[in-house]
């Protein structure tokens, strides 16, 4: 194994931290330099991650690549075990892409009250935490990365957020921590019940791969699986967020600064769904079977509930936030089916949601920046006349989000519904078809609220009060920051193999380990 | 045993004793404006004592016929206490110089307390333990009341004194019972003889254990002996409060570890459940009351109570098998060490801020992120660490306790859940401080000047807390040097 293979993902993951340290050392007055350093470091990390994606062996039977497994905390047998497979790769690259675009966006926009240095430093820290979650193959390492995102996000919301930011920040923090401590308990429980040794001198292991083999071989008792799956599912469910644990999300999203929302929706929510696929399902297959109908039920409720909630929203950003709950509902529905199609759909849905909703939050951020309001009624329509380019992009992304065929949003949703039609053996088919119907109703409602939103914001006559304001259309920096996402939406829509080609081998490997590989 | 006294073994204590005398004498001859010279003098003595401890590294020596033992456990704690002493001295200088206190007397008392701390982990005899504990406490009563002009400080001293003396009396009674039952004061001998006690005498032994524990429960502010802590911390000079929070309680725990893991180990099935209850009560009471605090030192006092509850948790795990005992012991020691670092850091920031606003209300911290960025970042690190949030050492300290608890099985996971819920609750109040510092705007926007020594302590402590997160191995492993259990 070459040095590059051993160090590539470590370099990509920790480059942002190095960037944060460099930025922290810069004098505060060098504002422009700091902004460009942010672009430089996120860009470098992105380049490394793309290099990894190019060097990735797509035919490779779904095993781990770029793997590193060395001693870390010898006292409790935790190891620095990182690697990347087809499930991680799309999310990993997405993390770096969105972070880079956020850094580009920051060149122009630093939200009130300024303090660029701290802002970018925290964002870079956040990037490492998110990226690390997707490559960690040691439960403790996974948990560390998982928790690492909390503090930067807390400050991003709390310092640079809008009016009600403090409440939103602490609510986000407490909710997530509350879920994750139960997850931690579950991890420790799995550790002590595991009878495998990944490190010399230890009877137990935190190693996710070792635990997957152990779990697939029926190593954990049924009762244990039910309890522990419940505990770790709680942690993941808060993060996703699944209904009814979603209430932190509209507040956090609405109050967060634009790039906070972009990263929150684009990447952080996926940490939860990724956790289900990576940790909960393969290690605790019996627990997964027992909980699948309930997860499916909550997912179906989330889809319908979120759509209804969206119809009632008056705040543009809050509307997008609630739509995230619905989209993540589709992802969870895909996972709950425990099928090849469903989980592939889920991963596709995560990537698509990251690209689309990230872009939607960019749009809303730019709208707010021009209108200084997010209230739909105050904007009052006519954006097509006033800022035609921005309005067109907004419409395009909103339509992608409602799942129009040919754009990215389509595949994840339709395949999740398809999977719900014939869930894995042992699951109640009638029940899942019920979920499918609920999901179908949800898609119609989704189309409804998005189109209605466009009608109220984009169309109609420009109100008089905006006529004397000079409102500029899209700026160069926005074009640069957005173009990759705008292209990606089409690309994923017409060529879904971009993601499926990466994931299907890994998902197949994962499911066949569970005895569900049919 | 060739000689009765192994002078090398007690060299650190001898040096410190000499320094104490010297400080007292020199103070008399110093003119008023040079009284602060007592501090560098004390510092010199402490450093010399630390060097003496380092020469003992790796050795196993006994003195006074086995009453006094120097082993890895003792050395670990001695290094720890002397480092804390250096920190407390550093943050005391400006505070006492500017506040118009009796400086020579203060340093004399402080060093005497630290002498007790040094003796504590070496004491393998009830008498020695008692002497060490009193040596820590008695100067503390005086130091707490050092702000003589302030009635709150007098109240603090009186409360501390009364509750302290009461618990000491109870503890002495317990010790006398133990002696009556076993005819011994040496901890290892007590363990052997208590193991064969039965019947009515066993009941008496249980009562004796409870009485002895009570004395230490006071020291570590465990429920129901916690009442003194908030008022005492608030009334005391801030460096003294820092001393109480970091060194004094750690000394209590060091004594408690020796008692429970050596002398009373065979009775664990009796006292472990009591520790479970005390631990739960202590952390819950501490956290619930901390939620309502609006003053930093009081917050730290209640948080100290809650943290004591966490440290008591491993005691409740004892008695299943040797491996579990070892793990519990390590977890407790690791937590004590890391807790002291973050707690001292927080108090240091408090000292810096108290120069501008002596009240130390939460709102006095508003906008510290602007007026003193380094202090604010340090404080945020300490608060995150106390709450157990990454990327800080406090995170691992908690994980190690969870690890021990869940591995124990039985009552362990239940305790872990209680501690988890408490930890989440604590985030709310710990984060109130960073929220003030970064989200609020200050009334006075001029930069806050902090004494160089205090700034250095804050920087060093934050680096230590962060380093402990990146390399948890070094402090997760340190307790395993212990020679106390697992023999």
- For A395-439, what is each residue's pLDDT tens digit? 999 999 988 888 988 998 999 999 999 888 888 889 999 999 999
Number of CB atoms found within 10 A of residue A109's CB: 17
Is residue B36 within 8 A of residue B89, CB to CB? The reply is no
Across chain B, what does the average pLDDT equal? 88
d(CA B412, CA B316): 8
The pLDDT assigned to A7 comes to: 87
CA atoms within 13 A on the CB side of B293: 28
Torsion of CA A340, A344, A347, A352, to 10 degrees: -150
- The alpha-helical segments, DSSP class H, found in A205-315 are 208-216, 222-239, 248-255, 258-263, 269-275, 281-283, 285-312
Residue B477 has pLDDT above 80, yes or no: no
Residue B483 has pLDDT above 60, yes or no: no
B476 touches chain A (CB under 8 A): yes
Interval A287-311 mean pLDDT: 92
- Chain A hits for B413, Cβ within 8 Å: 185, 189
Record: contact A150-B389, CB cut-off 8 A: yes
Record: contact B428-A170, CB cut-off 8 A: yes
Contact residues for A112 (Cβ-Cβ < 8 A; gap 6+): A160
Record: contact A151-B391, CB cut-off 8 A: yes
Residue A48 has pLDDT above 90, yes or no: yes
Highest mean pLDDT among A49-58, A169-178, A325-334, B388-397: A325-334
- Among B residues 369-388, those touching chain A with beta carbons less than 8 Å apart: 384
Check residue A375 and report its DSSP letter.
B
Is residue B324 within 8 A of residue B303, CB to CB? The reply is no
Helix/strand/coil for A70: strand
B400 touches chain A (CB under 8 A): yes
A174 touches chain B (CB under 8 A): yes
Burial track A15-43 (b if 16+ CB lie within 10 A, e otherwise): bbbebbebbeebeeeeeeebbebbbebbb
The pLDDT assigned to A350 comes to: 93
Record: contact B424-A177, CB cut-off 8 A: yes
Backbone angles phi, psi at A220, to 5 degrees: -95, 140
Interval A115-135 mean pLDDT: 92
Nearest C-alpha of chain B: how many angstroms from A122?
A: 13
pLDDT band at A518 (very low <50, low <70, confident <90, very high): very low
- Among B residues 67-86, those touching chain A with beta carbons less than 8 Å apart: none
Is residue B430 within 8 A of residue B307, CB to CB? The reply is no
Q: What is the largest CA-CA distance in chain A?
A: 76
The pLDDT assigned to A60 comes to: 67
Give, to the nearest 10 degrees, the angle between helix A31-55 and helix A116-135. 10
Residue B253 has pLDDT above 80, yes or no: yes
Residue A517 has pLDDT above 80, yes or no: no
Per-residue pLDDT tens for A65-118?
A: 888 888 887 777 788 899 998 889 999 999 999 999 999 998 888 887 878 888
Number of CB atoms found within 10 A of residue B135's CB: 20
**CA distances, B462 to each of A122, B343, B392 (Å):** 17, 11, 9
The pLDDT assigned to B1 comes to: 46
- Among B residues 410-469, those touching chain A with beta carbons less than 8 Å apart: 413, 416-417, 420-421, 423-424, 427-428, 431, 434-435, 438-439
| Residue appearing with tokens 């499926």 | A500
Give, to the nearest 10 degrees, the angle between helix B452-470 and helix B373-387. 40
- Chain B hits for A184, Cβ within 8 Å: 399, 402, 420
Interval B394-408 mean pLDDT: 87
Helix/strand/coil for B69: strand
Residue A1 has pLDDT above 60, yes or no: no
| B413 CA to centre of own chain | 26
Give, to the nearest 10 degrees, the angle between helix A316-336 and helix A340-371. 170
Contact residues for A279 (Cβ-Cβ < 8 A; gap 6+): A139, A142, A208, A232, A236
pLDDT band at B486 (very low <50, low <70, confident <90, very high): very low
The pLDDT assigned to A263 comes to: 93
Backbone angles phi, psi at A243, to 5 degrees: -60, 135
pLDDT band at B485 (very low <50, low <70, confident <90, very high): low
One DSSP character per residue, B186-231 reads BHHHHHHHHHT--THHHHHHHHHHHHHHHHHHHHTT-TTS-THHHH
Domain extents in chain B: 273-487
- Chain B hits for A144, Cβ within 8 Å: 390-391, 395
The pLDDT assigned to B83 comes to: 93
Q: Report the share of chain B in percent with pLDDT over 70.
A: 97
Interval A46-63 mean pLDDT: 84
ipTM computed for the complex: 0.77
Interval A463-481 mean pLDDT: 81
Number of CB atoms found within 10 A of residue A375's CB: 13
**Range with the poorest average pLDDT among A71-75, A422-426, B371-375, B395-399:** A71-75
The pLDDT assigned to B349 comes to: 92
d(CA A154, CA A516): 40
Residue A162 has pLDDT above 80, yes or no: yes
A185 vs B406, B431, B477: nearest CB: B406
Nearest C-alpha of chain A: how many angstroms from B439?
A: 5
d(CA B405, CA B409): 7
Backbone angles phi, psi at B372, to 5 degrees: -150, 75
Residue A2 has pLDDT above 60, yes or no: yes
Record: contact B477-A147, CB cut-off 8 A: no
Is residue A122 within 8 A of residue A152, CB to CB? The reply is yes
**Beta-strand pair A78-84/A65-73:** antiparallel
Per-residue pLDDT tens for B152-162?
A: 888 888 989 99
The pLDDT assigned to A123 comes to: 93
Across chain A, what does the average pLDDT equal? 88
pLDDT band at A301 (very low <50, low <70, confident <90, very high): very high
**CA distances, B8 to each of A13, A503, B67 (Å):** 51, 67, 15
| Residue appearing with tokens 């129901």 | B224
Helix/strand/coil for A138: strand
Length of chain A: 518
Per-residue pLDDT tens for A379-399?
A: 887 888 888 888 999 999 999
Residue A233 has pLDDT above 90, yes or no: yes
Q: Which tokens belong to A415?
A: 């395949």
Q: Which residues pair with B186 in a beta bridge?
A: B125
Nearest C-alpha of chain B: how many angstroms from A143?
A: 10
Residue B487 has pLDDT above 60, yes or no: no
Contact residues for B306 (Cβ-Cβ < 8 A; gap 6+): B282, B283, B285, B286, B287, B290, B422, B426
DSSP run (H or E) holding A37:
helix A31-55
Record: contact A148-B395, CB cut-off 8 A: no
């Amino acid at each position: 194994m070459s040095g590059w293979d051993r160090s590539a993902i470590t370099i990509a993951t920790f480059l942002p931290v190095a960037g944060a340290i460099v930025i922290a050392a810069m004098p505060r007055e060098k504002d422009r330099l700091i902004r460009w350093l942010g672009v430089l470091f996120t860009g470098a990390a992105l380049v490394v991650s793309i290099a990894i994606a190019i060097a990735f062996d797509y035919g490779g039977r779904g095993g781990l690549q770029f793997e590193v497994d060395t001693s870390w905390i010898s006292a409790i047998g935790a190891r620095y075990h990182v690697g990347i497979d087809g499930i991680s790769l799309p999310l990993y690259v997405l993390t770096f892409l969105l972070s880079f675009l956020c850094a580009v966006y920051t060149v122009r926009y630093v939200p009130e009250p300024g303090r660029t240095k701290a802002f970018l430093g925290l964002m870079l820290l956040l990037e490492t935490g998110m990226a690390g979650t997707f490559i960690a193959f040691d439960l403790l390492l996974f948990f560390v990365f998982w928790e690492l995102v909390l503090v930067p996000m807390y400050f991003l919301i709390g310092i640079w957020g809008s009016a009600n930011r403090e409440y939103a920040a602490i609510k986000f923090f407490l909710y997530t921590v509350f879920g994750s401590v139960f997850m931690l308990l579950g991890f420790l429980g799995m550790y002590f019940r595991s009878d495998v040794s990944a490190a010399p001198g230890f009877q137990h292991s935190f190693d996710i791969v070792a635990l997957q083999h152990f779990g697939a071989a029926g190593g954990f008792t049924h009762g244990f699986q039910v309890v522990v799956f419940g505990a770790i599912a709680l942690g993941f469910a808060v993060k996703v967020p699944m209904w009814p644990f979603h209430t932190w999300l509209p507040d956090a999203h609405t109050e967060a600064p634009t790039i906070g929302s972009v990263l929150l929706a684009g990447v952080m929510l996926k940490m939860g769904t990724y956790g289900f696929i990576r940790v909960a399902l393969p290690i605790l297959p019996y627990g997964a079977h027992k909980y699948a109908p309930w997860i499916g039920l909550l997912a179906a409720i989330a889809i319908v509930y979120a759509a209804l909630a969206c119809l009632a929203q008056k705040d543009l950003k809050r509307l997008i936030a609630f739509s995230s709950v619905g989209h993540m509902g589709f992802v969870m529905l895909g996972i709950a089916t425990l099928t090849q199609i469903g989980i592939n759909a889920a991963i596709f849905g995560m990537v698509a949601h990251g690209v689309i909703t990230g872009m939607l939050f960019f749009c809303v951020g730019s709208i707010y920046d021009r209108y200084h309001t997010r209230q739909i009624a105050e904007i009052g329509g006519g954006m097509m006349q006033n800022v035609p380019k921005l309005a067109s992009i907004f419409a395009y992304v909103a339509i992608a989000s409602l799942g129009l065929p040919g754009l990215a949003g389509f595949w994840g949703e339709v395949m999740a519904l398809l999977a719900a039609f014939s869930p894995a053996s042992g699951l109640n088919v009638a029940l899942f078809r019920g979920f499918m119907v609920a999901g179908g109703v949800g898609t119609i409602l989704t189309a409804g609220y998005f189109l209605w939103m466009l009608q109220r914001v984009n169309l109609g006559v420009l109100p008089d009060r905006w006529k004397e304001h000079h409102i500029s259309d899209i700026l160069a920096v926005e074009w640069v920051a957005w173009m990759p996402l705008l292209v990606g939406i089409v690309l994923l829509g017409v060529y879904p193999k971009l993601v499926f080609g990466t994931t299907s081998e890994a998902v197949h490997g994962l499911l066949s380990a569970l005895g569900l590989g049919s | 045993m060739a000689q009765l006294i192994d002078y090398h073994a007690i060299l650190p204590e001898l040096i410190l004793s000499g320094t104490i005398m010297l400080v007292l004498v020199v103070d008399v001859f110093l003119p008023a404006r040079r009284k602060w010279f007592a501090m560098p003098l004390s510092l010199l003595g402490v450093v010399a004592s630390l060097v003496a401890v380092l020469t003992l590294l790796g050795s196993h020596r006994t003195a006074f016929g086995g009453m006094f033992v120097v082993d890895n456990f003792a050395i670990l704690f001695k290094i720890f206490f002397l480092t804390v002493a250096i920190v407390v001295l550093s943050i005391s200088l400006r505070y006492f110089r500017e506040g118009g206190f009796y400086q020579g007397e203060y340093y004399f008392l402080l060093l005497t307390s630290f002498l007790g701390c040094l003796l504590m982990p070496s004491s393998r005899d009830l008498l020695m333990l008692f002497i060490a504990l009193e040596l820590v406490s008695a100067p503390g009563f005086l130091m707490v009341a050092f702000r003589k002009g302030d009635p709150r400080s007098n109240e603090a001293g009186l409360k501390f004194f009364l509750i302290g003396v009461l618990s000491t009396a109870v503890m002495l009674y317990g010790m006398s019972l133990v002696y009556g039952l076993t005819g011994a004061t040496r901890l290892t001998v007590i363990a052997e003889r208590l193991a064969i006690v039965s019947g009515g005498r066993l009941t008496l032994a249980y009562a004796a254990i409870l009485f002895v524990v009570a004395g230490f429960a006071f020291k570590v502010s465990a429920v129901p002996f916690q009442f003194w802590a908030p008022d005492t911390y608030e009334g005391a000079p801030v460096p003294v409060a820092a001393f109480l929070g970091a060194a004094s309680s750690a000394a209590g725990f060091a004594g408690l570890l020796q008692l429970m893991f050596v002398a009373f180990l065979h009775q664990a099935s009796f006292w472990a459940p009591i520790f479970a209850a005390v631990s739960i009560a202590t952390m819950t009471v501490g956290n619930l009351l901390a939620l309502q605090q609006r003053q930093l030192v009081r917050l730290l006092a209640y948080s100290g109570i809650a943290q004591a509850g966490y440290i008591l948790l491993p005691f409740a795990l004892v008695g299943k098998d040797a491996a579990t005992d070892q793990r519990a012991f390590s977890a407790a020691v690791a937590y004590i060490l890391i807790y002291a670092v973050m707690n001292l850091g927080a108090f240091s920031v408090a000292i810096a801020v108290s120069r501008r606003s002596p009240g130390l209300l939460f709102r006095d911290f508003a906008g510290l992120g602007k007026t003193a960025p380094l202090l604010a970042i340090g404080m945020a690190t300490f608060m995150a660490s106390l709450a157990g949030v990454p990327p800080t050492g406090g995170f691992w300290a908690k994980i190690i306790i969870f690890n021990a608890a869940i591995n124990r099985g039985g009552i362990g996971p239940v305790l872990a859940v209680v501690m988890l819920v408490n930890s989440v609750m604590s985030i709310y109040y710990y984060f109130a401080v960073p929220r003030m510092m970064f989200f609020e705007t200050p009334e006075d926007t001029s930069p806050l000047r902090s004494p160089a020594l205090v700034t250095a302590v804050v920087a060093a402590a934050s680096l230590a807390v962060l380093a402990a997160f990146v390399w948890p191995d070094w402090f997760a492993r340190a307790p395993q040097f212990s020679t106390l259990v697992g023999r």
